[in-house]
Amino acid sequence: MAHAYTPGLKVSRQTKLHCRRLLPISGKVLVEVGDSVEAQDVVAEASIPGDIFPLNLASLLGVSAADLPGCMLKNKGERVEVGDELARSKGIFGFFKKSYFSRSAGVLESVSKITGQIILRGEPIPVQVRAYVPGKILEVKPEQGVVVESNVTFIQGIFGIGGEQYGKIHLACEKPEQPLTEDLIKPEMRGGVIIGGARMTHQAVEKAIAVGASAVVSGGIDDQDLKNILGYDLGVAITGTEKIGTTLIITEGFGDIGMARRTFELFQSRTGAPASVNGATQIRAGVMRPEIVIPTTDDSASEVFDDGAVEGFLEPGSSVRIIRDPYFGMIGQVANLPPEPTVLGSGSKARVLEVKLDDGRQLVVPRANVEIIAG
Amino acid sequence: MSKINPDDIEVILATDCGSTTTKAILIEKIDGHYRQTYRGEAPTTVEEPAADVTVGVTNAVSEVAELAGRKLLDENDQILRPSNGKQGCDIYISTSSAGGGLQMLVAGVVREMTAASAKRAALGAGAIVMDTISSNDKRKPYEQIQRIRELRPDMILLSGGTDGGTVKHVVQLAELIAPAKPQPRFGDKYRMPIIYAGNIEAWEPVKETFDDDVELSQVENVRPQLDNENLGPARDEIHELFLEHVMAHAPGYDKLISWTDAPIMPTPGAVGNILQTIAERDGINAVGVDIGGATTDVFSVFDGVFNRTVSANLGMSYSISNVCAEATMPNILRWVHVDMQERELRNRVKNKMIRPTTIPQTLEALIFEQAVAREALRLAYIQHKEFATTLKGVQQQRTVGDLFTQDSGGQSIVNNMKLDLLVASGGVLSHAPRMHQTAAMLIDAFEPEGFTTLAKDSIFMMPHLGVLAQVHPQAALEVFERDCLIYLGTCVAIAGQPRPGRVAFRYKITGDISDEGEMIAGELKLLPLSGEQRATVEIEPARGLDCGAGKGKPVSREVRGGEVGLILDARGRELAVGGEKGADRQTVTQWVNAMHLYDD
């Protein structure tokens, strides 16, 4: 085989993004095909059935479960307000009656004559989906959501924390190798997306939260710092729901690692532009990577892709990044792809490739340990 | 599916559609015996752009066909049947865990009784149990409802009450599930299958509780009496609904179902099936483990009772960070005999988590990964032992001898002293550069006692053989014995804590090799004994230590060799490693050297 398949992360200066914005359950789409939308416009909404309040009313009234239906003062499907008399026991010869006044509002959903339990369902919970990126509605999926088409600069990170945020790009570091430290975070970055270079420190993240930054993006983060920020050791890479006061995205990996120069320069060129970011990461079947989307006004983009889909082929000359120790983070070009498996230092046999680094060194690494990056 | 006469079967094609890879094997009758002859693999294609599982199956089968020089597919990519010379196969079978496998929610009235039985039924059928809801799980009803709403299971198993017992509690559970309206993973049109396997007298009121939003079915009670568990009907129904609903909604599966000559089984269900078949045939107790990137499955058969557990977040890539969080870094590093920096390791672990397909390049990285594997396996086995218990809630008849024991049912049926065969599978065990490393990881994590044969599944063939056992047990058993297992050897270990510096046991070995000597407390020794060789090992344990015949009693057993050999283990049980009182770095280094783990 002359070349091998390996996935990489998408970093694109100019691309046409087709962004699917779907409701978690069936609902109503509020826009039509061809409509122009802004990032924070609501494009679809739905109501999730309200919370449920189960109550063993039979035991509260001191009646048997079978007698409960006869004690009910409200019918199934009827609205109940807080303080409404919900049920009254028959008492003994008309005396010693006991009433129950509802402590929750909702609709009476069921009354069980077997368990004596009633179920009250609370107000429907509204769910809204925003456009996320400014653009045109390309497709409406009835009752589900929309596809928004937008011309953007698109950068995928490798790992993130926190959900969707919006803000202007602020460059905090001057070089991609420069760590993002506390002193580089300024009050004027409030509401913005702060771009660092190499590792973001714990103190820098705390300062960003303190100034009210929407998001912080940098090359790497130390796992110990992440643990301190979250307050726990992250076990499984399914993120996006954390509430730490900002969204964090790393573009390269954990440890002292600088942002890829091309990515950094792309951010540099878009300083001041409004961006949409999402830290949600899921590294399982149906992989989801965090992203930074910066709309452009140029609609000449020819490359069209659905968010998330990336692939490439390894061949001599491909630019690659080594993604595992002992050469983690090093960037170079594929010099050779020997077809025969090679014995590694670990003693395992694996197919390898030779990578030529910019400083002229040539390294042998397993093919599984590189990812293609844009040249 | 056609009816096949087992005697006419000469060529068998089997596939296992995993989350990432579809593996195909060919089994042929050679000189009157079934042998696994060729294998091929291709990426699984349930996701876009192909979104059709049969594309991956066809690719994997094409590779087998090419290697075997046998035409297996016609011009329309249909599997050719029956075999005719160098063309086609007689039966085609498949397992599947693609798309995250089968994910279930189970519910039962009492956590330790009917809910535990329901969980065993679901796990035994090959499901991942997302949560177990019970009346006494310490959650308030609204919290339970909230949880049911958050999960998106493929199906629900509801149990509760013994037949003729109380109706109220199980109906109460149904009343929690019904209004929660659990949403399935696949599509709006999918009606959630709910299997009712509880008190037969509660069926009518349970039925009334649910509306048409769900697909409700009833099977026999999983716990008809407190002292009797009846898991078969629930497991069969799970398999059926898995095919009818879950598989039918996965891309291309309708086509695959029509291709196979036996029902498609969830992969872990098939592995359990073959392990059970082997344990039954040979009258042995066996444990199998499959450690993957995200999960670790443990299967056991003790005294004919089968159990399976899935440790959902113990794995070597996606879940490696969780292993480190649960086990803690000091517990992992206690197995490492070289210097490593914790801060650096933490970052490496996270980098493996976010880029799960990378492999260790350096020896140091391999040593660390195998240390993590020991802890992942150890934790998974602890979970398994806690789950695989005798039935709880059963009245015990006690004698005077039981006066001082407080057992009340629910003891683990996993007994390492009774364990005869320990089978390893999964990347970190199967692909370890040396089989010695596989054996060492198994012994350190599972701590077998007495005489235990160690083996590994050569190419993770057990799923294929599990489903084959359903249609052709003889072929499945022959291939299992001849081609599936690679024997690593036998571990002979004493239970109890030997006194430091003293003799733990004396040994005398006769047969294809001869040796005798003493094992000092904490010592580990590897003796060469190849796969074809057998030896009789006589062990004389020191007072207070047990090698199978009782404390201090001599024992003799014939053992088989393997790729690694005969391992004598005088370290004691439970293994004490690390910490203030456990084995230190120097001792761990001695073990590494004794087992020839990383030297030339």
For B484-543, how does the pLDDT look when each residue is reduced to its tens digit (9 = 90+)? 999 999 999 999 999 999 999 999 999 999 999 999 999 999 999 999 999 999 999 999
Model confidence at B301: pLDDT above 90: yes
pLDDT at B107: 95
DSSP E strand stretches across B335-401: none
Q: How many CB atoms lie within 10 A of CB B339?
A: 8
- 3-state DSSP helix/strand/coil % of chain B, to nearest 5: 35, 25, 40
- Summarised one tens digit per residue, pLDDT across range A174-230 is 999 999 999 999 999 999 999 999 999 999 999 999 999 999 999 999 999 999 999
Indicate if B418 and B453 belong to the same structural domain: yes
Residues paired with A108 in a beta bridge? A120
- Is the distance from CB of B57 to CB of B22 less than 8 angstroms? yes
Domain boundary among B59, B77, B98: B98
CATH number, domain with residue A358: 2.30.30.30
pLDDT at B392: 66
- Say if A159 is an interface residue toward chain B (CB within 8 Å): yes
CA R_g for chain B = 25
Cα distances (angstroms) measured from residue A30 to each of A36, A44, A100, A124, A145: 12, 5, 42, 19, 9
CATH number, domain with residue B40: 3.30.420.40
Model confidence at A310: pLDDT above 80: no
Indicate if A167 and A106 belong to the same structural domain: no
Indicate if B91 and B129 belong to the same structural domain: no
Which phi and psi angles does A167 have, rounded to 5°? 170, 170
Indicate the residue of B48, B100, B366 with minimum beta-carbon distance to A347: B366
Residues of A in contact with B350 (CB under 8 A): 159, 223, 226, 234, 253-254
Peptide bond into A340 cis (omega under 30): no
Determine the average pLDDT of the residues in B291-306: 89
Q: Mind telling me how many Å the CA of A236 is from chain B's nearest CA? A: 6
The domain total for chain B is 3
Interface test with A, best of B350, B366, B436, B437 (most A CBs within 10 A): B350
pLDDT at A26: 76
The domain total for chain A is 3
Residue A2 maps to a domain: no
Determine the average pLDDT of the residues in A78-95: 88
Residue B398 maps to a domain: no
- Is the distance from CB of B553 to CB of B539 less than 8 angstroms? no
Residues of B in contact with A201 (CB under 8 A): none
Model confidence at B567: pLDDT above 80: yes
Percent of chain A with pLDDT over 90: 60
The per-type count for chain A, helices as H runs and strands as E runs, is 5, 31
Q: Domain range for residue B365?
A: 286-392+406-594
Overall residue count recorded for chain A in this entry = 375
Both tokens assigned to B439: 């054996």
C-alpha A141/C-alpha A129 separation (Å) is 13
pLDDT at A28: 94
Residues whose CB is less than 8 angstroms from the CB of residue B403 and which lie 6 or more positions away in sequence, other chains included = none
Indicate if B141 and B237 belong to the same structural domain: yes
Determine the average pLDDT of the residues in A349-353: 89
Q: Tokens 């002859």 label which residue?
A: B37
Domain boundary among B59, B74, B98: B98
Residue A106 maps to a domain: yes
| A284 with B360: Cβ contact below 8 A | no
Indicate if B119 and B31 belong to the same structural domain: no
Residue A29 maps to a domain: no
- Is the distance from CB of B547 to CB of B492 less than 8 angstroms? yes
DSSP three-state, residue B84: coil
Chain B: residue nearest A235 by CA?
A: B322
Q: Name the pairing type of β-strands B214-218 and B265-266.
A: unpaired
Q: What is the mean pLDDT of chain B?
A: 89
pLDDT at B261: 92
pLDDT at A5: 37
Indicate if B216 and B228 belong to the same structural domain: yes
C-alpha B278/C-alpha B465 separation (Å) is 11
CATH number, domain with residue A265: 3.50.30
Residue A145 maps to a domain: no
Indicate if A237 and A276 belong to the same structural domain: yes
Indicate if A267 and A185 belong to the same structural domain: yes
Residues of B in contact with A371 (CB under 8 A): 355
Both tokens assigned to B349: 């672990």
State which H helix or E strand residue A223 sits in.
helix A223-230
| A283 with B365: Cβ contact below 8 A | no
- Is the distance from CB of B454 to CB of B490 less than 8 angstroms? yes
pLDDT at B259: 94
The answer for A 89-148 residues in CB contact with B (under 8 A) is 109-110, 112, 114-115, 117, 119, 121
pLDDT band at A300 (very low <50, low <70, confident <90, very high): low
CA R_g for chain A = 28
Residue A273 maps to a domain: yes
C-alpha A139/C-alpha A263 separation (Å) is 30
Residues of A in contact with B180 (CB under 8 A): 52
pLDDT at A17: 92
Q: Name the pairing type of β-strands B192-196 and B214-218.
A: parallel
Which phi and psi angles does B329 have, rounded to 5°? -60, -40
Indicate if A164 and A215 belong to the same structural domain: yes
| A254 with B351: Cβ contact below 8 A | yes
Residue B280 maps to a domain: no
Q: Domain range for residue A336?
A: 313-372
| A346 with B294: Cβ contact below 8 A | no
Among B162-166, B189-193, B326-330, the least confident range = B189-193
Cα distances (angstroms) measured from residue B224 to each of B156, B244, B393, B589: 19, 27, 13, 53
C-alpha B286/C-alpha B446 separation (Å) is 12
pLDDT band at A25 (very low <50, low <70, confident <90, very high): confident
Give the DSSP per-residue string, A125-148: EEEEEE--S-EEEEEEETTTEEEE
Report the phi/psi class of residue A203: left, alpha or beta, with left for phi > 0 and alpha for psi in -120 to 50: alpha
Indicate if A254 and A355 belong to the same structural domain: no
Chain A: residue nearest B354 by CA?
A: A283
Burial of B285 (0-12, 13-18, 19+ CB in 10 A): buried
CATH number, domain with residue B185: 3.40.50.360
Determine the average pLDDT of the residues in B352-363: 88
Indicate if A278 and A240 belong to the same structural domain: yes
| B354 with A223: Cβ contact below 8 A | no
| B361 with A326: Cβ contact below 8 A | yes
Residue B265 maps to a domain: no
Residues of A in contact with B354 (CB under 8 A): 158-159, 237, 253-254, 281, 283
- Is the distance from CB of B555 to CB of B538 less than 8 angstroms? yes
Residue A73 maps to a domain: yes
Residue A36 maps to a domain: no
Burial of A158 (0-12, 13-18, 19+ CB in 10 A): buried
pLDDT band at B323 (very low <50, low <70, confident <90, very high): very high
Indicate if B219 and B115 belong to the same structural domain: yes
Looking at per-residue pLDDT, the higher value among B415 and A306 belongs to: B415
Model confidence at B204: pLDDT above 80: yes
Q: Mind telling me how many Å the CA of A132 is from chain B's nearest CA? A: 23
Indicate if A172 and A285 belong to the same structural domain: yes
Give B560's Cβ-side CA count (13 Å radius): 13
pLDDT at A301: 53
Indicate if A360 and A320 belong to the same structural domain: yes
- Is the distance from CB of B207 to CB of B184 less than 8 angstroms? no
Q: Which of B96, B75, B90 is nearest to B24 (CA)?
A: B96
Residues of A in contact with B359 (CB under 8 A): 324, 344, 346, 348, 350, 366, 368-369
C-alpha B488/C-alpha B465 separation (Å) is 20
Model confidence at B407: pLDDT above 90: no
- Summarised one tens digit per residue, pLDDT across range B343-352 is 889 999 999 9
Residue B184 maps to a domain: yes
CATH number, domain with residue A81: 2.40.50
Residues whose CB is less than 8 angstroms from the CB of residue A358 and which lie 6 or more positions away in sequence, other chains included = A331, A332
Residue B536 maps to a domain: yes
- Is the distance from CB of A221 to CB of A253 less than 8 angstroms? no
The most distant pair of C-alpha atoms in chain A lies apart, rounded to whole Å, by 100
Cα distances (angstroms) measured from residue B420 to each of A127, B280, B286: 56, 13, 6
Residues whose CB is less than 8 angstroms from the CB of residue B227 and which lie 6 or more positions away in sequence, other chains included = B391, B394, B395
Indicate if A345 and A279 belong to the same structural domain: no
Indicate if A216 and A93 belong to the same structural domain: no
Looking at per-residue pLDDT, the higher value among A193 and B141 belongs to: A193
- Is the distance from CB of B150 to CB of B185 less than 8 angstroms? no
DSSP three-state, residue B592: helix
Q: Which of A325, A310, A327, A328 is nearest to A373 (CA)?
A: A310
Indicate the residue of B183, B209, B347 with minimum beta-carbon distance to A254: B347
Residues of B in contact with A321 (CB under 8 A): none
pLDDT at A298: 67
Model confidence at A55: pLDDT above 50: yes
Exposed e or buried b per residue across B245-265, where buried means at least 16 C-beta atoms within 10 angstroms of its C-beta: bbbebbbbbeebbebbbbbbb
- Is the distance from CB of B521 to CB of B499 less than 8 angstroms? yes
Determine the average pLDDT of the residues in A277-284: 86
Model confidence at A302: pLDDT above 80: no
Q: How many CB atoms lie within 10 A of CB B116?
A: 25
Q: What is the mean pLDDT of chain A?
A: 88
Residue B507 maps to a domain: yes
pLDDT at A309: 34
C-alpha B47/C-alpha B56 separation (Å) is 11
Model confidence at B2: pLDDT above 70: no
- 3-state DSSP helix/strand/coil % of chain A, to nearest 5: 15, 40, 45
Residues of A in contact with B142 (CB under 8 A): 51-54
Q: How many CB atoms lie within 10 A of CB B328?
A: 11
Give residue A172's Cα distance to chain centre: 23
C-alpha B231/C-alpha B227 separation (Å) is 13
pLDDT band at A61 (very low <50, low <70, confident <90, very high): very high
Residues of B in contact with A222 (CB under 8 A): 343, 346-347
Interface test with B, best of A55, A249, A348 (most B CBs within 10 A): A348
Model confidence at B274: pLDDT above 60: yes
| A346 with B48: Cβ contact below 8 A | no
Interface size between A and B, measured as CB pairs under 8 A:
164
Indicate if B501 and B353 belong to the same structural domain: yes
pLDDT band at A303 (very low <50, low <70, confident <90, very high): low
DSSP E strand stretches across A172-315: 193-195, 199-200, 215-221, 247-254, 274-278, 291-295, 304-306, 313-314
Indicate if B93 and B105 belong to the same structural domain: no
Indicate if B480 and B349 belong to the same structural domain: yes
Indicate if B175 and B50 belong to the same structural domain: no
Model confidence at A254: pLDDT above 50: yes
C-alpha B245/C-alpha B154 separation (Å) is 8
Indicate if B77 and B136 belong to the same structural domain: no
Among A233-237, A355-359, B111-115, B574-578, the least confident range = A233-237
Q: Tokens 């969080």 label which residue?
A: B325
Residue B490 maps to a domain: yes
Residue A234 maps to a domain: yes
What ipTM does the predicted assembly reach?
Answer: 0.83
Indicate if A252 and A199 belong to the same structural domain: yes
| A54 with B175: Cβ contact below 8 A | yes
Indicate if B93 and B113 belong to the same structural domain: no
Q: Which of A178, A182, A192, A144 is nearest to A292 (CA)?
A: A192
Among A38-47, A71-80, B106-115, B250-259, the least confident range = B250-259
Q: Tokens 């009758």 label which residue?
A: B29
| A109 with B179: Cβ contact below 8 A | yes
Domain boundary among B51, B73, B98: B98
Cα distances (angstroms) measured from residue B237 to each of B204, B225, B248, B525: 19, 20, 15, 49
Residues of A in contact with B99 (CB under 8 A): 285
Indicate if A181 and A76 belong to the same structural domain: no
| B99 with A112: Cβ contact below 8 A | no
Residues of A in contact with B376 (CB under 8 A): none
Residue B15 maps to a domain: yes
| B343 with A350: Cβ contact below 8 A | no
